[in-house]
């Protein structure tokens, strides 16, 4: 089975995509298109012309337009009628054809949920499925329809994943931010397995098992890796801060290149390895930083191969200009 390596690349990072990047990735998710007045809006992707340059570096590379992201609304209202869904799908087809793209990735965060201060309704659960079917009908069977799914049980409860999986080419589970900006308990935000003492009980494996039980075939599951970190401050110096209550919620932390330069075994931060979770973390006596490194990514790739999963994706490309994490990912997948 061909396995995928997918990278979310934002507008600002597109000009920096190199030939090496293009030949280590199978897919680039262009982040982001938005929903505006019920139609696809491309104003954030000013550098989409870079697609032509990058495609020349690797003609086999797939370019998928990701629509949404955290705080991006418009999905719920647009998807409540067949006319709305069809008009949106038609606007997606126009942009796909205009820029020679390979498909659409829906990153609705999240159906039936207004925690990001977006429009929502209980009918989102069924309308999410209808929206994806409208996209499939408009784009055809030869183009990609995919989703980015929240890693927790909330996403499964608020969608029809068996039906969604039947429509989509693959399902990308965002197995990062498992501990997010809503939790004060410091811990792994992208751990492979659940560590004893972790009251949140979240991990890549837990998410994969839940999505599979909800009807997603294993060979359609793509897991996520984090090229950025999460940080908690105001922790007691107990268990190196792991699973302790912090004075802050989990803040968005530095990207991996900055972590290597300024934090990993530097400036008072010590790297620790949780062998149960197969995940690294940093602690300086009062602050904990959770992240992925080359070792944890290698183990994620070995896990997905052993489990028969489709591949691995990451957020986001610009967070690691050193390319160390993508290099480790590529080496492990192709080994």
The catalytic residue positions are 109
Alpha-carbon span 195 to 216, nearest angstrom:
25
Alpha-carbon span 202 to 144, nearest angstrom:
29
64's enclosing H/E stretch is strand 62-68
CB 58 within 8 A of CB 95: no
- Write the CB contacts of 49 (distance below 8 Å, at least 6 apart in sequence): none
Alpha-carbon span 131 to 137, nearest angstrom:
10
Dihedral angle sign, alpha carbons of residues 279, 25, 9, 19: positive
Alpha-carbon span 274 to 43, nearest angstrom:
42
| Closest by CA position to 319, among listed 273, 253, 244, 265 | 253
- Write the CB contacts of 328 (distance below 8 Å, at least 6 apart in sequence): 294, 297, 298
106's enclosing H/E stretch is strand 103-107
Alpha-carbon span 319 to 129, nearest angstrom:
32
Taking only Cα atoms into account, the Rg of the chain, rounded to an integer number of angstroms, comes to 19
């Amino acid at each position: 089975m061909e396995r995928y390596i997918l990278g979310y690349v934002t507008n600002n990072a597109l000009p920096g995509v190199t030939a090496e990047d293009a030949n280590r990735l199978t897919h680039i998710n262009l982040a982001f298109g938005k929903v505006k007045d019920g139609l696809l809006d491309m104003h954030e992707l000013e550098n989409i012309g870079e697609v032509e340059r990058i495609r020349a570096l690797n003609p086999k590379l797939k370019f998928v337009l990701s629509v949404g992201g955290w705080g991006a609304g418009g999905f719920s209202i647009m998807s409540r009628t067949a006319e709305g869904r069809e008009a949106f799908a038609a606007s997606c087809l126009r942009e796909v054809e205009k820029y020679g793209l390979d498909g659409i990735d829906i990153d609705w965060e999240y159906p039936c949920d207004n925690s990001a201060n977006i429009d929502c309704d209980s009918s989102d659960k069924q309308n999410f499925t209808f929206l994806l079917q409208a996209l499939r009908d408009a784009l055809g069977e030869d183009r990609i329809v995919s989703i980015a799914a929240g890693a927790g049980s909330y996403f499964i409860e608020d969608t029809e994943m068996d039906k969604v999986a039947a429509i989509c080419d693959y399902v990308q589970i965002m197995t990062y931010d498992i501990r997010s900006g809503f939790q004060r308990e410091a811990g792994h935000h992208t751990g492979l397995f659940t560590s004893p003492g972790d009251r949140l009980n979240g991990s890549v494996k837990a998410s994969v098992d839940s999505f599979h039980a909800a009807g997603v075939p294993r060979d359609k599951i793509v897991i996520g890796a984090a090229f950025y970190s999460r940080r908690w401050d105001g922790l007691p110096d107990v268990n190196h801060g792991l699973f302790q209550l912090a004075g802050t919620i989990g803040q968005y932390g530095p990207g991996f290149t900055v972590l290597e330069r300024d934090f990993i075994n530097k400036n008072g931060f010590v790297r620790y390895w949780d062998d149960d979770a197969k995940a690294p973390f940093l602690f300086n006596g009062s602050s904990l930083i959770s992240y992925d490194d080359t070792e944890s990514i290698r183990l994620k790739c070995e896990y997905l191969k052993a489990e028969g999963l489709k591949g691995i994706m990451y957020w986001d490309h610009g967070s690691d200009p050193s390319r160390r994490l993508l290099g480790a990912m590529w080496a492990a997948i192709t080994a």
